[in-house]
Amino acid sequence: MRLSGVYLSKYVSGGFILAFAIVISSGFYTYLTTQDLINTAEKLTDAYRVSAISNQILALTVDIETAQRGFVITGDSSYLGPYFVAKDTIDYFIKSLQQLDPANAPLIELSDTLHRLIKLKQQFVEHVIQARSISEEMANQYVITGFGKDVMNLIRKQIYSLQEGQHGFFQQSKLIWNERLKQFQIAFITLSVVIACVIGLLFYFINNALKIRNATEAKLKEALQGVRMLYDNAPCGYLSVGPDIRITNINTTLLKWLGYSSSEVVGNFKYEDLLSEASKEQFLSTFERDFEEYKTKGFVQGLEFEFKRKDGSVFPVLVNSSAIFDHQGNFYKSTTTVFDISDRKRLELRFKSLIESSPDALIIVNDEGKIQLANEQSELLFGYSRSEMIGNKVEMLIPEELRANHVAQRMQYTSRPVRRPMGLGIELKAQKKNGQLVPVEISLSPIETDEGMLIIGAIRDVTERNKQEQHIRQLNAELEAFTYSVSHDLRAPLRSINGYTEILDQEYASRLDDEGKRILATVTRNAKRMGHLIDDLLDFSRIGRQELKKAKVDMNQIVRTIADEFIIHENGRRIELGIDDLGSAYADVSMIKQVWINLLSNALKYTSKNEVTIIRINRQESLTEIQYSISDNGVGFDDRYKHKLFEVFQRLHSTQEFEGTGVGLALVKRIITRHGGTAWAFGKVDNGATFAFSLPKT
């Protein structure tokens, strides 16, 4: 027995040692397997995060694109709200993407490329917004380059490439997870066989393994909750459908839009159940063909439908979808992004309303010259119905002899489209349905759309305006001739009056009493005033007939020369004259001198009762014109009557207060108008006045 006991003891010891070795080996193997499970879970979590974050980045980039388009079309800065939100948050998601797996070189490379593309897109959008703040034309110049669209396509391609890579990784990681789990189960069975012998030691290893597993599950649960939160609270809708097109997942955003709960939709609704009746009919009519094409390509973009809410109301959406396949290459499910485009549709409706309410005929033509839209005024102007115009070339509205040439001009314009009047310097004619030619004025405005470039032509019938302008020109010519004739006819009797008053003053002054001398002085003074008035009328008439000879004029030299001449004759007056750098302008030298003479003499005249005269002459410049102004601290005028200042014989002060004929400012207005500019004034009684005028830069 002893021997047997010894033998037994050795056997038990050997068995215990063997069992202990098995437990140790199995425990160590279990530990390694658990670590693999943890790593695999973390990789799966990262894959989920990459997919969710990349979708979020795409949604924010689309917001930037949509905000830019809305702002360019309308000029309304409220459309930029989504742009600023996206701009402030998109860097956070890019950084989150880069930090998910710093050791994953392909992911880092794709993320860095995506970051550069988005930065490039943001810079382009900022340039477009800045350009639109200046003018719609400048913004359209940026947009029509297609650069922004190309960058957007690259961003989408980069994100889809990223998601496809993560999908493959997800499938691979899932297989690894299953394999490791199987190995874990084998180790667990092995441990169970020897548990009776080494219960305490086995319990220790199992306890540790369970702790690790619980920690893994907790981390996985936390990660999934974070992904789900991003998924549910995205600014766009998300949904997934299975092979039978039944909805398997949907986020909170889309549920709120639809008014359903998740339990009502998931597993119960097919995709077409979300559509309005019209969209459902459209969807089902081509579903078989479209679905096969979708599974072949792996994605669809830019589909527009109407979704139906639970209360029966509908709203427009834009849908993008990517297909996910199992390891055998069969369609598994979709990841579909849904954008509410109600605001865009309202904008389009508003645009159409504006087109219809326009007082001018509006024609919208594509880059092939085909009419896409025509308003009611177009029907009235040309005599065609809209159905007769839409789809046909715009040359149908051009006189027959000009159509061939117009095709070449149209193609040249579409290659470099800008907003401008058509046919500058020539008389344009359009042809009605009955063959009648009508004079027109046309303005062209290009706009960039998803379907390509469109050109809006605003057409105005100027038949009546031409008649009125001709009539006005005839009346002005007759009035100038009459003024010139009357002025000359008045000179003869005026010379006689002056002659007789001189004779009376020189030869009969001693015989006149004080009253007679006063009357004689009054006659002489009024005769001189009448002479000045005739001279002014002749100048006013001559300006209307005189040829305009524009050249580059040094305004500093002209103004300072005139001012020096005036101040020399103002002995004893304290005059503070401030003149800015007036630069140069294109004008008729003699005419612009007359403008400054009249304005400076006015400023000196109406400040003559001040102890100190203050006169300031300034220049301001814009993109298209130069503005000059002269301000004084004189008696000023009532601003309610400023419209009378530039009319002939209209004066706001009596001749007893200040001498004058009432023609000087009218002459200023006529000269500036002939130069293509405008003249204006503003002031306050006893608080000075400012007179200003503008000149075109060319």
Choose the weakest-confidence range: 199-208, 496-505, 587-596.
199-208
Neighbours of 550 (CB within 10 A): 18
Q: Name 250's Cβ contacts closer than 8 Å, sequence gap at least 6.
A: 237, 238, 239, 240, 262, 265, 266
What tokens does 330 get? 């069969």
pLDDT score of 302 more than 50: yes
Check if the beta carbon of residue 194 is closer than 8 Å to that of residue 146: no
pLDDT at res. 658: 53
pLDDT at res. 266: 92
pLDDT score of 510 more than 90: no
What tokens does 148 get? 């922004």
Confidence tier at 514 by pLDDT (50, 70, 90): confident
Buried residues in 224-256 as b, exposed as e (16+ CB within 10 A): beebeebbbebbbbbbbbeeeebbebbbbbbbe
pLDDT score of 126 more than 80: yes
Q: How far apart are CA 277 and CA 279, in angstroms?
A: 6
Query: Which span out of 55-59, 157-161, 378-382 was modeled with the highest average pLDDT?
Result: 378-382
CA 417 from chain centre, in angstroms, equals 17
The pLDDT of 22-44, averaged and rounded, is 69
* Alpha-carbon distance values, 14 to 7, 11, 196, 346, 382 (Å): 10, 5, 16, 85, 110
Q: How far apart are CA 253 and CA 273, in angstroms?
A: 18
Pairing of strands 452-461, 361-366: antiparallel
Check if the beta carbon of residue 258 is closer than 8 Å to that of residue 340: no
pLDDT at res. 26: 66
Q: What is the pTM of this model?
A: 0.37
What tokens does 223 get? 């990660």
pLDDT at res. 12: 43
Choose the weakest-confidence range: 265-274, 461-470, 627-636.
461-470
pLDDT higher at 383 or 33:
383
CA 527 from chain centre, in angstroms, equals 64
Q: Name 289's Cβ contacts closer than 8 Å, sequence gap at least 6.
A: none
Element spanning 185, H or E: helix 147-193
CA dihedral 230→232→238→242, nearest 10 degrees, is 110
CB burial class (10 A; 0-12, 13-18, 19+) of residue 294?
middle
For 423: left if phi > 0, alpha if psi spans -120 to 50, otherwise beta; the answer is left
pLDDT at res. 3: 38
Q: Name 267's Cβ contacts closer than 8 Å, sequence gap at least 6.
A: 246, 247, 248
Buried residues in 557-587 as b, exposed as e (16+ CB within 10 A): ebbeebbeebbeeeeeeebebebeebeebbb
Q: Which of 48, 149, 56, 65 is nearest to 95 (CA)?
A: 56
The pLDDT of 62-67, averaged and rounded, is 82
pLDDT higher at 269 or 160:
269
Q: Name 129's Cβ contacts closer than 8 Å, sequence gap at least 6.
A: 68, 71, 80, 83, 139
pLDDT at res. 276: 92
* Alpha-carbon distance values, 30 to 173, 219, 296, 617 (Å): 19, 20, 43, 93
The percent of residues in the chain predicted with pLDDT above 70, rounded, is 79
Q: How far apart are CA 484 and CA 150, in angstroms?
A: 67
Choose the weakest-confidence range: 3-17, 130-144, 427-441.
3-17
pLDDT score of 212 more than 60: yes
Tell me, what DSSP letter sits at residue 270? Answer: B
Choose the weakest-confidence range: 39-43, 288-292, 575-579.
39-43
Pairing of strands 361-366, 371-374: antiparallel
Q: How far apart are CA 283 and CA 85, in angstroms?
A: 34
pLDDT at res. 51: 76
pLDDT at res. 5: 40
* Residue that the structure tokens 């009054």 belong to: 522
pLDDT at res. 571: 76
The percent of residues in the chain predicted with pLDDT above 90, rounded, is 18
Q: Which of 297, 201, 290 is nearest to 245 (CA)?
A: 290
Residue-averaged pLDDT of the chain:
80
What tokens does 423 get? 């046919």
pLDDT at res. 176: 72
Q: Which of 611, 605, 616, 614 is nearest to 559 (CA)?
A: 616
pLDDT score of 173 more than 70: no
The total number of residues shown for the chain amounts to 698
pLDDT at res. 157: 83
Query: Which span out of 18-32, 64-78, 364-378 was modeled with the highest average pLDDT?
Result: 364-378
Confidence tier at 6 by pLDDT (50, 70, 90): very low
**326-331 CB contacts, 8 Å cutoff, 24+ apart:** 326/171, 327/171, 327/175, 330/243, 331/243, 331/295
Query: Which span out of 6-15, 27-36, 509-518 was modeled with the highest average pLDDT?
Result: 509-518
What tokens does 673 get? 């108008």
What tokens does 552 get? 């580059």
The pLDDT of 629-650, averaged and rounded, is 77
Element spanning 300, H or E: strand 299-308
- Provide the sign of the torsion angle of the four alpha carbons 144, 149, 151, 152, taken in this order: positive
Check if the beta carbon of residue 651 is closer than 8 Å to that of residue 529: no
pLDDT at res. 526: 66
The pLDDT of 628-645, averaged and rounded, is 82
pLDDT higher at 193 or 375:
375
Pairing of strands 237-241, 331-340: antiparallel
Q: How far apart are CA 696 and CA 698, in angstroms?
A: 5
Choose the weakest-confidence range: 234-238, 451-455, 546-550, 603-607.
546-550
* Alpha-carbon distance values, 140 to 122, 146, 448 (Å): 17, 10, 7
pLDDT score of 11 more than 60: no
Query: Which span out of 49-58, 131-140, 424-433, 524-533 was modeled with the highest average pLDDT?
Result: 131-140
Q: How far apart are CA 4 and CA 130, in angstroms?
A: 99
Choose the weakest-confidence range: 254-263, 304-313, 675-684.
675-684
Confidence tier at 494 by pLDDT (50, 70, 90): low
pLDDT score of 424 more than 60: no
Element spanning 518, H or E: helix 514-545
Check if the beta carbon of residue 608 is closer than 8 Å to that of residue 671: no
Confidence tier at 527 by pLDDT (50, 70, 90): low
Check if the beta carbon of residue 138 is closer than 8 Å to that of residue 80: no
pLDDT score of 14 more than 60: no
SS3 content of the chain, % helix, strand, coil (to 5): 60, 20, 20
